[in-house]
Structure 1
Amino acid sequence: MLKRYGRREGIQSVIGPAVFYLALALTIGMSFWPYFYYVKNETLITIGLFAGWRYGWQLTHYVRALIYHFIVYRRLRRKVAEAARDGKFPEHIFFIIPSYNEEPWVSVESFFSIMSELNTIPSRATLVVSTGSEQDDAVISATYQSHPARHKVELVLQRQSHGKRIAMGHALRAVARRYNDRGLDAGSSVTVFMDGDSYLEPGIFTKTLPLFCLDDRLGAVTTNELAYINTRSQWYKDWFNLKFGQRHILFQSHSLSRKVLTLTGRFSIFRSSIVVREDFVRMIENDILTHPLHGKFRFLMGDDKSSWFYLLKERWDMLYIPDTICYSLESRDARFVELSTSLPYRWY
């Protein structure tokens, strides 16, 4: 799996655009300089206030992100490494994985990465996978059966036919039954929410799971995210890299306050004692927004926003782990304009 980021690459990539746009701004400013005298002071003040508000917040997030990355998280990382050496891992890990008609190579890469990472830790696991076809079942089962870690992993396949939220509700109830039957408690189990096209970087569980043994108030964690994009459109790749780069800065800033903006469905880890609650399951299955004029709207997507809101409402702590990466295996290949208009329509 090829990485598409790095400090050196990031610095190199910013030099050219920065020089170009600064030169362009300087040229435009000098061209209009004789006419600034005729602009009313109120106009300049208003524009300046908006700019100060916008870029002031951006600067604040940058400073907070630096504090979290270089001070707070470094201390936390040392504690996690020590806990991992002492074998402080959850007894059991549950996975909830919606995998609907993914391309075979995507499913193979995704589930092989899961099994390989489980092979590096002492925890046992249960994979509850919501699939969309018999082909999905066959590919996932073959990957599971071919891996040497299968002896410590239970695979449960469920067929989803009524939408992602209903499928996740069924998966959560399957987790709740096993959680209660095994007599697990708040400190002995976590549940991973991830998509069927997510690829886990080596070491991801070693850097995240001990956190739940160190902090009883920690409800969930999420990680850095990058995209592996199988497309010929360089603009599409750059767009994703920019999106995830902005997310990386913002989430570190929020994590300084022990909260994050969302617990992404790509890969997030929850304390199992939270996700097996009936009110949590019902919120995932049937989350609604009530508008005073237009009535009730049922969310078809956005399950990660519902889970995040539940933890926020219950005052659980949340953390972002910046040096641990989940890759999104994007197989779409179309024109940039088409993709850049269709994807936000689905997201928002």
Structure 2
Amino acid sequence: MQILAHALYILVAAAIAAAVPSSAFSGGAGIFLTLGFIGLWRYSWALINFLRAHYYLRIAYPRRRAAAEALYSGKRQAHAFFLATSYKIDAEITARVYRSLFLAARRSPGGATVVASVVDASDERLIRSVATQVLAGIDTVEVVIDRIAGTGKRDALATSLRSIARRCPSADDVVLLVDGDTQIPVDIVERAAPFFASGKVGALTTNEAAEIDQPLFRDWFKLRFTQRQMMMSAMAVSNRVLTLTGRMSVFRADLATRPDFIASIEEDYIDHWRLGRVKFLTGDDKSTWFWLLKHGYQMTYLPDVACVSMETQPKPGFIESAVTLMRRWFGNMLRTNGRALALSPTKIGFYTWWSILDQRVSMWTTLTAPVGIILFSLFVDPLVALAYVAWVMATRYIYCWLLASFGGPFPISYPFLLYFSQLFGAAIKTSVMFRLDRQRWTRQSTAGSGTPVGKAGQVRSLSSSYMHLLALGLLVVGVVFATGLLSPFPIQAN
């Protein structure tokens, strides 16, 4: 069935391309030249990341793992501190997650401490029951339950990290921060601890997989995780990554328990010239990442170690669910992007710095094509849009085949989901960029930490809308002049 779907896709793309007359290309020469220039830049950047990722997976990573394990073999075995946060998660998922935690703790060669941060008494009872079953007869694992008020994940992490700090972990130990809906591999300590032996690595994150009931939502997540495998691998060549994923990341214990590290999670903020002080509600993984980045620690990626997150659609429909998640993800990214960009490229590495810059630029270059196509379709030749459809279908299909070298064969939904993510993602990023103060957890009603209400809130909201519309207007004007739509010699359709 998938083979037939792929064949039909190729035939449709070819038919659309064949139906476009040459007049569309001559009439739209300006837009195609402009898009070609931008496309050359974007595709060159994608190719660089593609090649770097394969270099890391096939050459650099195996060598680094072998060197790390050789160095670690002569050191004290790491004591592992597992810190998991649970809030409003189904009991079945909670039991499965903590079973994986306790199994991994049992297997930790240097012993383990499992700290469960919970709000509900029912979660505490369930976790203790699972611990009793899995840890029967085991005396190398300590179980600590931190009952806290439901004031957010940042408070939960800070409270439990201080609990770990009181146990005085050393630089040889590790702290694993785990979401309450993420199942971790049982050999995670053995696989991760050797990378900290050099003393240069401050944290690492791993590959991810997802279990989702909804078919289209499942395809979307799998596509995103395949893209993540490529980008994380490409970044790791330079001993940096662009995020320490909140679902599961591993930290050097003496760093994760430093007071200033904990404070960076509990009370992180930026001072914005228009929005004032924006306190971070979500995005704890970006706070931990930025702290390590600015202090000069390396951060790496384990492509051959995967955790499994159990995801559900936060909203009834696919599009509204995807938009909800992208608003949160991109908001976390952009709230930290500016201050990370302010760090010196000589300190964090030029490739890392350029990748951070690209996060800010790519949202606008992605929107250039659809804006230009709409304008040329309205004022020059509507067949330009048909040519663009064929171009999108061809390029996204080729890109999906390149991604297949990281994630295997793909369903025919991928090219459509890829373009949806690119287009909607870029639009959402431009919206979030001017509304950094708007934040919301998926499972919590808490939102907009520190956001003014009343007239002050209305003024801020209006200023955000004005700045956003102004930026979009400048984008349209830029496209008009760059493509020659407004020129001394107007373009005439044949």
Q: What band does the TM-score fall into relative to the shorter chain?
A: 0.7 to 0.9
SS at match of 1:155: strand
Q: Is the 8 Å Cα contact of residues 101 and 131 (structure 1) preserved in structure 2? A: no
Instruction: Give the letter for the 1:292 counterpart.
Output: W
Provide the rounded CA distance (Å) in 1 between the counterparts of 2:81 and 2:66.
26
Alignment of 1:191-210 (within 5 A): 191-210=175-194
Provide the rounded CA distance (Å) in 1 between the counterparts of 2:285 and 2:293.
12
Instruction: Give the letter for the 1:124 counterpart.
Output: G
Q: CA deviation at 1:88?
A: 4.8
Partner of 1:169: 158
Partner of 2:45: 57
SS at match of 1:322: strand
Q: CA deviation at 1:128?
A: 1.8
Q: Is the 8 Å Cα contact of residues 89 and 210 (structure 1) preserved in structure 2? A: no
Q: CA deviation at 1:22?
A: 4.1
When the two structures are superposed, what TM-score results if normalisation uses the length of structure 1?
Answer: 0.87
Instruction: Give the letter for the 2:190 counterpart.
Output: T
The alignment status of 1:344 with 2:333, answered yes or no, reads no
Query: Greater shift after overlay, 144-153 or 291-300?
Result: 144-153
Provide the rounded CA distance (Å) in 1 between the counterparts of 2:75 and 2:14.
56
Shift of the 345–119 alpha-carbon distance from structure 1 to 2, 3 Å rule, reads: same
Q: Once the two structures are superposed, what CA deviation does each residue of 1:140-172 show, in whole Å capped at 9, x if it has no partner?
A: 111112123642121221223221111111111
Provide the rounded CA distance (Å) in 2 between the counterparts of 1:35 and 1:244.
41
Q: Is the 8 Å Cα contact of residues 105 and 114 (structure 2) preserved in structure 1? A: no
Partner of 2:207: 224
Shift of the 337–218 alpha-carbon distance from structure 1 to 2, 3 Å rule, reads: same
Shift of the 98–201 alpha-carbon distance from structure 1 to 2, 3 Å rule, reads: same
Q: CA deviation at 1:19?
A: 4.6
Shift of the 338–39 alpha-carbon distance from structure 1 to 2, 3 Å rule, reads: same
The alignment status of 1:112 with 2:94, answered yes or no, reads no
Quick one: percent identity of the two aligned structures?
35
Q: CA deviation at 1:300?
A: 0.5
Q: Which has the larger radius of gyration?
A: 2
Partner of 2:259: 278
Q: CA deviation at 1:139?
A: 0.6
Q: Is the 8 Å Cα contact of residues 218 and 317 (structure 1) preserved in structure 2? A: yes
Shift of the 248–36 alpha-carbon distance from structure 1 to 2, 3 Å rule, reads: same
Alignment of 1:72-83 (within 5 A): 72-80=60-68, 82=70
Instruction: Give the letter for the 2:159 counterpart.
Output: H
Shift of the 16–340 alpha-carbon distance from structure 1 to 2, 3 Å rule, reads: farther
Partner of 2:308: 327
Q: CA deviation at 1:83?
A: 5.8
Q: CA deviation at 1:114?
A: 1.5
Bigger proportion of residues as strand? 1
Q: CA deviation at 1:27?
A: 2.4
Q: Is the 8 Å Cα contact of residues 82 and 101 (structure 2) preserved in structure 1? A: no
The count of aligned residue pairs is 327
Q: CA deviation at 1:222?
A: 0.5
Q: Is the 8 Å Cα contact of residues 198 and 267 (structure 1) preserved in structure 2? A: yes
Instruction: Give the letter for the 1:189 counterpart.
Output: D
SS at match of 2:251: strand
Shift of the 190–37 alpha-carbon distance from structure 1 to 2, 3 Å rule, reads: closer
Provide the rounded CA distance (Å) in 2 between the counterparts of 1:98 and 1:199.
13
Query: Greater shift after overlay, 71-80 or 329-338?
Result: 329-338
Provide the rounded CA distance (Å) in 2 between the counterparts of 1:144 and 1:288.
37
Instruction: Give the letter for the 2:210 counterpart.
Output: A
Bigger proportion of residues as helix? 2
Shift of the 314–34 alpha-carbon distance from structure 1 to 2, 3 Å rule, reads: same
Instruction: Give the letter for the 1:178 counterpart.
Output: R
Q: Is the 8 Å Cα contact of residues 82 and 114 (structure 2) preserved in structure 1? A: yes
